[in-house]
A and B are shown apart, each in its own frame.
Chain A
Amino acid sequence: MIEQGDILTLDDQKKYVAVSILSLEGSQYVYLVNKENYKEFIIGELIGDSGVDEVDDPDLLETLIIKFNEDLKESLPKIIEQYM
């Protein structure tokens, strides 16, 4: 099961950090940031532990941005404490 802080290698051969994961209406969504280049990011729906489908619904994207932001604000101190 993918967890916050995991490093994922996708089939584009790049490594991404799962910075936030959340559940919404029965689906799991993830915010991935390229480990080497923070400008590259993916907002997608987790398909089990094997895939990520990019979100292309603008309303859903807006909702997810707000929720990822809230999640990160809450979890960042814990992650820092855990990792540093």
Chain B
Amino acid sequence: MNEFREFFSNNPLFVSSNFEQVGNHVYAKSGVLQQIKDQYPQLDVNVDVKYTLVDIAKTVWKEEKKRQAAASNHAEAANSTSGENKADTQDPDQKDKVNRVVAFLRDVIPEYKKSDYGFVASELLKLGYPESEVLFGIVQAGKDGIILNPKKVVDSYEKQLKREHLLPTAEGYVDQQNFGALGKAFFESYTTRVIDYQDIDYLFKELEESGHALTLEQQKDVRTHFVAELANELTSKYENTKLRGAVLANELYHEYGDIGLPFCYQILLANSNDDNRYALEFSYQKAYERYGKNEVINTLREIEASGYSEQEAAQTLINTKWPAKMVLETVKNVGPTTISLDVDSVINEYLEAIGYGNANHAEQSQNTAGAQENADVQENVGDENNQMGDEPDFEQNGYGDPNLNSGMGRSRRRKYHIVSREQAKSSIDKKAVVACMIAAAGCLSTTVLVSIFGVNPLVAAKNCFASLAAVKAANIGLSQLLPNMKDFVALAASVSTTIFGTISWLRLDRKKKQIEAQEALDLAEGGTKRV
């Protein structure tokens, strides 16, 4: 970062009088590009094309790095042939800096843990020395017997340096309030392995420190554009693949499993309108579950290693926002042989914390399955609030809610009498029938996603209605028939939650009745109450 800025601030060509602002971008004035090209004859630019300052700076910097690398290689070659200390081939100032890097590494190594190349690299970066000196220093330190893996430290250092170089570009986009371009720039750095998705958090912090703080909404905007780029790339990559759904889900899991899959998945679905949607959904869900289960087990192990209690373990798992059902099933299956934590206690603490616990352990264990399902309903709705950040205007009328709009949710089976039957004859009735059927189609496909695949209700509803709108709008004027699409999304989310909640409630009710029957049988037979 310092080197980058130092380089451009000392370069007489990169002064404000050589550039002009047009709209949101700054371009080189006429003739300036030729001067730059004269300075860098190998520069891959066309002097007749208008380049932005950012583009020119990036290209020049790339060329400068090539020069530095060539100089470095030359120095190394000279060193290897002469057998002399590499620093001896450098000018006194450079040699001094290299020595200081070596001394610095000697000081920092005691704090250096195995595989923590990033730590060493970030400490080196703080020195603010030119890159070549730092790289020489790392290599020299290795030769001097300082215990580190020079190659990995160098790789990490260069990666962090590149990440630092990204910041001026990022600051420019923040100044322009162009968060789409920022997301795209992050993605380009991601594809060239300069940054990982997690580095975006670090970059946001760096931007904040340089006076370019982004609000949470703006950060979300950047991430949306990042993931949209990724989704487009993946979608086009597998455009002509027969097993696109499964292949794509597999790649998402293996290659991008840790970068906000649900978000990416949502965009993929929005982009996809072919028959592979369900294959994708199913495969993704499976991959995500596997990923989630691994994460739960890893979290448990970390908690165990840290010596935390079962209660703290439960709270940590709750904080992850993973679906309760998946978490509890995974914890249950981990079993006492894998970890020393009492998994039953973790489950109990978890249920207690989310409001489904029961002081009576025996009764609780009987109800666990139903409570999990119920907790999952809660979790799905809660997740959605967290992920989307917008207000779902559907009612959370899950199981047991006396205000259920549907006739469902009761344990008793209601019987209706059909008073009359008619066929739609008037155009008003015909439109009403079609509207009912479209609404039902959206609600049912949403419910399938929610109850079978475990997708969040609002996410599922949005995707289902987006798909309906895309297919039907052109032919029947859907906007006239269903004037408020947002209400229909809320409707589908609400209905799917109701149906899913009802199914869970009915299962719980059935289990409760089975237990009551068993208890009655035990008592009648003179046995003890089951525990």
Contacts and interface: CB of A to CB of B under 8 A. Distances in A.
Q: Do A and B come from one complex?
A: yes
A35 B448 contact: no
Contacts of B452: 62, 66
Contacts of A47: 415
Prevailing SS type, chain B contact patch: helix
Contacts of A33: 436-437, 439-440
Interface centre among B437, B494, B495, B510 (most CB of A within 10 A): B437
Interface string A42-76: 11100101111111111001100110110011001
Given A17-B433, A38-B491, A57 B506 contact: yes
Contact of A10 (B416, B439, B503): B416
B413 to A, nearest CB: 4
Contacts, number: 166
Contacts of A51: 415-418
A81 B410 CA distance: 37
Contact of A56 (B413, B416, B417): B413
Contacts of B416: 10-12, 42, 44, 51-54
Interface stretch (B125-133, B292-300, B421-429): B421-429
B438 A76 contact: yes
Interface in B414-472: 414-424, 429-441, 443-445, 447-448, 451-452, 472
Nearest to A12: B416
A29 B225 CA distance: 45
Given A39-B405, A50-B417, A61-B503, A80 B423 contact: no
Interface in B478-511: 491, 494-495, 498-499, 502-504, 506-507, 510
By size class, the interface of chain B is 35 or more
A69 B448 contact: yes
B262 to A, nearest CB: 22
A7 B510 CA distance: 33
Given A10-B419, A19-B436, A65-B448, A56 B406 contact: no
Contacts of A7: 421-424, 429, 432-433
B432 A35 contact: yes
A19 B507 CA distance: 26
Nearest to B373: A58
A39 B408 CA distance: 11
A17 B429 CA distance: 10
B223 to A, nearest CB: 32
Interface string A1-14: 01101111111110
24 contacts: A6-B421, A11-B417, A31-B444, A35-B436, A38-B440, A39-B495, A39-B498, A40-B405, A41-B443, A42-B406, A42-B416, A43-B408, A50-B418, A51-B415, A56-B412, A57-B506, A58-B503, A68-B444, A69-B447, A73-B441, A76-B438, A79-B437, A83-B433, A84-B476
